Chains A and B, each alone.
Chain A
């Protein structure tokens, strides 16, 4: 299957290994991966902060870039970005033409784990990684896109892995986009409850499907000098350690 990769601005600049891993995994399961270098951002930061015109400007660019792709699916290693793409039609609800174009894009946009499991029906991607891990349910992926079992199934098939559920895996990490810097104290208070749960789980790594959550969680673990690693599910699935 031909797949067009939407790597996301965050992964592109701050976490390229997630992008590299995503390509690797998709190729391993037999996809041909296309990357349109004109891509930038899904417009989520502006949309979430209430800047709808600015969001539309960037949204139009997104639509134009991906419209030109003949790929059957647009795949992204981010639940929140996939969810944002699904919100694009609503963003253009006052413009029938753009709304239609947005819908056509949204209809073939998938988050990575959900693409692997629901579309390709593949749970074992030939990964191996030794260690004890837990999964953090990123909010948008969980509640907007119903992604809950897919990543857990994928993780369970990784050779050598020991998977444990932490308390309140589905509670927010406190990132929330600009919320994390508008209300940093509240963001940290929420985050520390997540960190406590991670510590109670006594894991080597926390896995999630959103780089933003991983930045939030990883940033705190790093500040606290913790040995616990954060890993994106793409990195885990690409691993053949």
Chain B
């Protein structure tokens, strides 16, 4: 594997020296050339020994391939001519990997996504042996640049492999309806935890910032059936609501009517008792007066009543006791006549 610092610049300076020595005719020219070359070397060395580390980075310094230190942002000095080599790592930047889709170029303010070509990443078996299309993102940060550089050759590939493996494991422990609806947050959290566990085992200096599920759908051809389940839920709710509405229409009214019935009865009760008491009082008073002169009062009451009664009837026919046969003519009034005749004592 070719590493850039393996062609030491020392060769060049030595070559310059030797060249000047070879070409130099006089000591003066040679000397001047040597001085010039020397100056150039110093200048070159100085120029290549300064380096800056950006605020988002940390720099790992290797001296002849061996790790020396990790430098924080700022201006730093290193030994020139490939003796010290600096590898800058973006440790402060939060990086993102996408699974099951790729966000591509921006269309106006909106990022456009394509997910069709990444079915092999997103199709996932659930615990009840159904298939779900799960898209997710992993955000991570390089937490230890030294481990990041020295412990694995393809950190990103490891991260992607682990992310897929772990997410499938987590989804595999849930049923499809959980994956599609209620389990999303839980799945993301568990996946994050497990991913970190595995990555820590590799010790490759990566910290998972977050795992987030994006679109989680049933496969295209199955989607209508899943929608049907949702529709059925709505129907169920509708049926229940309808019945509740019916209940709420009927029962309160019935309660009101029941109350009305009871109140009516109470009214009747009060009236009946009052009437009885009134009648009783009247009777008692009348009786008192009657007992003072019973015979006269009795006759008077009778006559007064008859007077009033006979005074207001439409026709009054008086028939002699011996006459009979006239009654059928007045058949309609028979009842009244019977009543009247029945009153004799």
Q: Does chain A bind chain B?
A: no
Give the interface of B toward A (CB within 8 A).
none
Give the interface of A toward B (CB within 8 A).
none
